[in-house]
């Protein structure tokens, strides 16, 4: 017997048509530094059609890559809407990649067109001569004349290019497995690796984002997308917002705590998403300049571990719930998210909220031991997290179809490189990245746990823990501390602060004070560079 | 370029494994008439495995139909979980079908096994000898000896059958388009027609049910499923509840307002779903015996139009939000649902909530005129509603592959037989079933509008409006009124009540008072039978 159901393809063209019609009143607002410029999904739809016509006229065919080099703003959303809908593939370039990586990924993806914010032209101008496949550059909110085009590259004005085009477009309905977008990992080792999302994966991921056991925002929300559109699809917010008619608030290039808070005072977003570093900065700014931000009911936080102290501070001082989440570029990115289970209150609730969260039905997860065996979900057995599901990658993009880093895949499962355990009721707790694990005398010490605890200390702005060689124990932890401005603290005092939270053998004896933790292009602690500085003798270490 | 995403199949086996493990603490409670019997999803999973083994032992293969003849209870959920997961097809028989229809659908679907509630054995015993393909009957909570089995049919006890089986099962992962369940329409004309849902359609539908722009319940909810599991998949609640770990409350056979309220007082559900008839009864019972039901935050209502007066009464007197929804067996059933748009308050909010609701992104909808042209979504143009989407049927089931009622499909769209209009922001307002439309002097009169208005009159319990032949105007409306117990009202007074709500030419002049509106097997007004009674001269009509 066969199902009688329609073979309807999940398609971002359908999503765009829906958003611009039945959800056409929802808005996109972009901060200008002094105020908001606001359009509707209806207007986004008209501009998307104009862009699609313009790109067709520039020769963009189905499957061709169209790149962006942009902040989060209205025009970036237009590109998000138009490019996959017309059958092309959106490649949002990470403007914070190291130069050689940026050039590598644009060439590797064979980007044909790059759409660039005017404010980023000076930076982009340095890369352009090295981009081998780019034929057209479209400048948004800027002067194309500022860019000297290499031979064979045409530079266009977004406004002029779109002005001449019709405001409707006959988008094709593609097979749902057709490529829709791509993103590269920003790993600190080796070349960045590409992931190619499909219409199907983006659609299903958007349905999960709006689910009440994930972000769960709806048409009444104003969603502040701080996490960049070039960073793992802005955690899926663009398409999810289109799906429920949630309005969007875009900070453009104004990402410092002061401007962010100024924008929030004007726009009063109800939901937001960003990495912990941003929230840390906002929290510090609020201490200096109090402001009511209780219009934000929920903030999703991921990308790296969220210190519980920060979560408490936001909730208790500002009435804002931080929602801890785990994911990666390879997982679209939504993996798990930390809503506590029914009935959990007080300390139990906080304990659940400090985990990386619970997996939804679409993301299968398992913990695998060093020997490759699947470990029980007992909340204790520690190993590498492996996941699978309809929005999780099966491989890395290879232009010639060859295998890229096959070691990251295990019989259909993605090896995440994250180390942790899963409770019987599906909550993930990460203890480390597999490459950051500290093994002391044969036992694991969680750098993440030490960092989280250390960041609860009033004098500490940031803390990062790495393993350093030790003759007796193989490895021992070294804590790198960034003190808050005007604060002082001694290693012995800091170690004492950890004393009742860890076993004695886990307490770090090596300490260093630095001005800043080195960060990756997406703002994560770059422990590889920290380890290199240690190896080079570049850190002044105090040993207790 | 190809997407790198995993080709993960959306599968009810994955959903079951998820529900019984990571959501294993969620509960299923069934009312016994005097109290609750409660199990967990973990136990449901163990019983589902036992049932799957038992069905395999009875010879059930992939694609075979396993039927139920059951109330909403714990065991029915076990069947819902086990049958599709093992690769068989769940056919929940509508116990309220007229006998000849019940026999027809069981034979048409070629049901191999029927699982029957003990309390329904007397009714089922009458049908069994006519069921040509049934080889096994499994009796739940009852005595198999009560059933006299025809030759070739074995009767089993659920308890004994499951006791011997292992509590884990190696469920296959099927192609997501594989059949998972089926349902027959309960149309009043012609033979019932079958729809075959797939794993994919059930999965996507469940994701929509939990979306905040649909039912939106979550793991904190206790969901009262009054709408039967044999009625359009209980509106998708079983699989949606499993997906978010919402607990379920099942009323079994206790569906009268008194027992329902008694159960609610004990269990305190937070979300419920049922047809308007049920809510009308509950409302009347609450007037006689006040009870706090504000633990219910939301009740989804569909199946037939929800009178606005009832919606207001629930909200204003009892603090319960009724959520109007539209759908049909052919649409899994979730089509539209009436959350008001952002910013709508007061009368505007009520006006939106009285519509059949807004379409989600996955359900494409259009209004088609008599001449087959697509009409604008302007909130005015009236025509037949057509829909398409991944959980909407493309055809009716045919054992031999032949076409069944092809007139219900239009170039890939389902013709719903509902007549109405769609607003620019995606809200559906139905004015009639196409076969119930009253055309007076070339203009449409909405029977649904007249019925809704009439049911706002304090003396009226139920009102149904049909078109009757008229020499001058072709057709004119006849109103059939069921008065509330102890109430009286005259036709002139009732007509006067409508006078400020309708144009003069729309006001009905023909009136009749009856004891009960004839209903279909799923509780909808059966206007075909009302028209037949009128044609037979069986109604006492007053003409003003």
Question: Would you write out chain B's pLDDT as a tens digit for each of its 544 residues?
Answer: 999 999 999 999 999 999 999 999 999 999 999 999 999 999 999 999 999 999 999 999 999 999 999 999 999 999 999 999 999 999 999 998 889 999 999 999 999 999 999 999 999 999 999 999 999 999 999 999 999 999 999 999 999 999 989 999 999 989 999 999 999 987 666 789 999 999 999 999 999 999 999 999 999 999 999 999 999 999 999 999 999 999 999 999 999 999 999 999 999 999 999 998 899 999 999 999 999 999 999 999 988 778 889 999 999 999 999 999 999 999 999 999 999 999 999 999 999 999 999 999 999 999 999 899 999 999 999 999 999 999 999 999 999 988 999 999 999 999 999 999 999 999 999 988 878 888 888 777 888 889 989 989 999 999 999 999 988 888 999 999 999 999 999 999 999 999 998 888 899 999 999 999 998 776 778 888 999 999 999 999 999 9
- When the pLDDT of each residue in chain A is averaged and rounded to a whole number, the result is 95
* Residue B189 pLDDT: 63
Contact A1 B339 (CB under 8 A): no
- pLDDT of residue A58 exceeding 70, the answer is yes
Predicted local distance difference test score (pLDDT) of residue A523: 74
Does the structure show a pLDDT above 90 at A359?
yes
Hey, which residues does B419 pair with through a beta bridge?
B384, B432
The rounded radius of gyration (Å) of the Cα atoms in chain B is: 23
User: For residue A473, what pLDDT is reported?
Assistant: 86
Kindly state the tokens that stand for B402: 């032949």
Q: Band the pLDDT of A528: cuts 50, 70, 90.
A: confident
d(CA B47, CA B41): 10
A264 close to A254: Cβ distance less than 8 angstroms: no
> Angle between the A447-454 and A491-498 helix axes, to the nearest 10 degrees?
110
Sheet holding A89-92, edge to edge: A154-157, A136-140, A113-117, A65-69, A89-92, A179-184, A194-198
Q: Distance from B207 to chain A by nearest Cα, in Å?
A: 7
Q: What is the pLDDT of residue B235?
A: 96
Stretch A166-186: mean pLDDT: 95
How far apart are alpha carbons B157 and B144 in whole angstroms? 6
Strands B65-69 and B89-92 turn out to be parallel
Specify the range with the lowest mean pLDDT, choosing from A261-275, A453-467, A514-528, B58-72: A514-528
**Contact present, A241 and A248 (Cβ < 8 Å):** yes
Q: Which B residues in the span 125-184 are in contact with A, Cβ-Cβ below 8 Å?
A: 177-180
- Examine residue B454 and say whether the peptide bond preceding it is cis (omega within 30 degrees of 0): no
Chain A residues with CB under 8 Å of B4 CB are: 194-196, 393-397
Q: Does A112 touch chain B (CB under 8 A)?
A: no
Give the position of tokens 């590889």: A528
Span A437-457, mean pLDDT? 86
Geometric angle at alpha carbon A319, from A318 and A325, rounded to 5°: 100
Quick one: pLDDT at residue B52? 98
Tell me the C-alpha distance between A264 and A180, whole Å: 32
Instruction: Return the DSSP state at A9.
Output: P
Q: Is the per-residue pLDDT at A443 higher than 90?
A: no
Burial class (CB in 10 A: 0-12, 13-18, 19+), A190: exposed
Backbone angles phi, psi at A463, to 5 degrees: -140, 135
What residues of A are in contact with residue B22 (Cβ under 8 Å)? 358-359, 377, 425-426
Q: Whole-angstrom Cα distance, residue B322 to residue B299?
A: 5
Phi, psi at A260, each rounded to 5°: -60, -45
What integer is the mean pLDDT of A525-533? Answer: 89
Helix (H) or strand (E) holding A217: none
CA distance A214 to A360: 8
For chain A positions 297-356, those within 8 Å of chain B (CB to CB) are 339, 341-342
Q: Are B13 and B171 in contact (CB under 8 A)?
A: yes
Both tokens assigned to B460 = 């009226």
What is the four-CA torsion angle of B364, B369, B375, B379, rounded to 10 degrees? -90
Active site residue B329: no
Class of residue A297 by CB neighbours under 10 A (exposed 0-12, middle 13-18, buried 19+): middle
Mutation target for B interface from A1, A271, A389: give the one with most B CBs within 10 A. Answer: A1
Q: Give which of A253, A294, A299 is closest to A280, Cα–Cα.
A: A299
Distance between CA atoms of residues A157 and A144, nearest Å: 6
Residue of A nearest to B424 (CA): A22
Active site residue B444: yes
Tell which B residues from 369 to 408 touch A, by Cβ distance under 8 Å: 377, 388-397
**Distance between CA atoms of A364 and A386, rounded to whole angstroms?**
8
The pLDDT of residue B98 is 83
**Predicted pLDDT of residue A377:** 98
Residue A496 tokens, joined: 């004492």
Q: What was the pLDDT predicted at A187? A: 62
Task: Give the chain A residue whose CA is nearest to the CA of B216.
Answer: A212
Task: Please report the domains of chain B, with CATH numbers, ordered by start residue.
Answer: 9-198 (3.40.50.12780), 437-543 (3.30.300.30)
């Amino acid at each position: 017997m066969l199902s009688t159901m329609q073979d309807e393809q999940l398609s971002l063209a359908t999503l765009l048509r829906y958003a611009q019609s039945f959800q056409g009143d929802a808005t996109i607002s972009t901060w200008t530094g002094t105020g908001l410029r606001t359009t509707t999904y209806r207007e986004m739809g008209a501009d998307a059609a104009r862009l699609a016509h313009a790109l067709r006229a520039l020769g963009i065919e189905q499957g061709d890559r169209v790149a962006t080099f942009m902040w989060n703003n209205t025009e970036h959303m237009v590109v998000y809407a138009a490019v996959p809908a017309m059958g092309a593939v959106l490649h949002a370039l990470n403007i914070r990649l190291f130069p050689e990586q940026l050039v590598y990924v644009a060439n590797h993806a064979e980007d044909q067109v790059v759409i660039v914010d005017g404010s980023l032209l000076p930076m982009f101008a340095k890369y352009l001569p090295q981009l081998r496949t780019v034929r057209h550059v479209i400048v948004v909110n800027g002067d194309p004349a500022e860019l000297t085009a290499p031979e064979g590259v045409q530079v266009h004005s977004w406004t002029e290019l779109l002005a001449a085009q019709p405001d409707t477009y006959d988008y094709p309905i593609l097979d749902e497995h057709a490529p829709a977008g791509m993103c590269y990992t920003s790993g600190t080792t080796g070349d960045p690796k590409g992931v190619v999302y499909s219409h199907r994966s983006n659609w299903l991921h958007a349905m999960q984002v709006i689910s009440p056991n994930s972000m769960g925002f709806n048409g009444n929300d104003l969603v502040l997308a701080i996490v960049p559109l070039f960073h793992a699809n802005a955690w899926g917010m663009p398409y999810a917002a289109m799906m429920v008619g949630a309005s969007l608030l875009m900070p453009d290039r104004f990402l410092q705590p002061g401007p962010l808070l100024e924008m929030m005072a004007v726009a009063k977003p109800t939901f937001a998403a960003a990495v912990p570093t941003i929230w840390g900065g906002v929290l510090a700014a609020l201490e200096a300049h109090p402001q009511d931000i209780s219009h934000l009911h929920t903030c999703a936080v991921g990308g790296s571990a969220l210190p519980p102290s920060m979560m408490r501070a936001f909730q208790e001082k500002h009435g804002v719930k931080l929602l801890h989440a785990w994911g990666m570029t390879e997982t679209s990115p939504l993996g798990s998210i930390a809503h506590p289970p029914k009935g959990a209150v007080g300390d139990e609730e906080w304990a659940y909220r400090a985990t990386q969260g619970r997996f939804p039905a679409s993301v299968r997860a398992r913990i695998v031991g060093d020997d490759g065996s699947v470990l029980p979900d007992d909340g204790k057995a520690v190993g590498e997290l492996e996941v699978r599901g309809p929005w999780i990658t099966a491989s890395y993009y290879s232009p010639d179809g060859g295998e890229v880093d096959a070691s990251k895949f295990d019989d259909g499962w993605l090896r995440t490189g994250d180390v942790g355990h899963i409770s019987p009721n599906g909550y993930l707790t990460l203890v480390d990245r597999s490459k950051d694990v500290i093994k002391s005398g044969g036992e694991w010490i969680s750098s993440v746990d030490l960092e989280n605890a250390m960041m609860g200390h009033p004098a500490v702005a940031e803390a990062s823990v790495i393993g350093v060689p030790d003759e007796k124990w193989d490895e021992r932890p070294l804590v790198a501390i960034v003190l808050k401005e005007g604060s002082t603290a001694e290693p012995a005092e800091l170690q004492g602060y950890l004393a009742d939270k860890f076993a004695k053998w886990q307490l770090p004896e090596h300490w260093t004070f630095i001005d800043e933790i080195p960060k990756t292009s997406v703002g994560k602690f770059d422990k590889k560079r920290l380890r290199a500085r240690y190896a080079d003798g570049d850190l002044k270490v105090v040993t207790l």
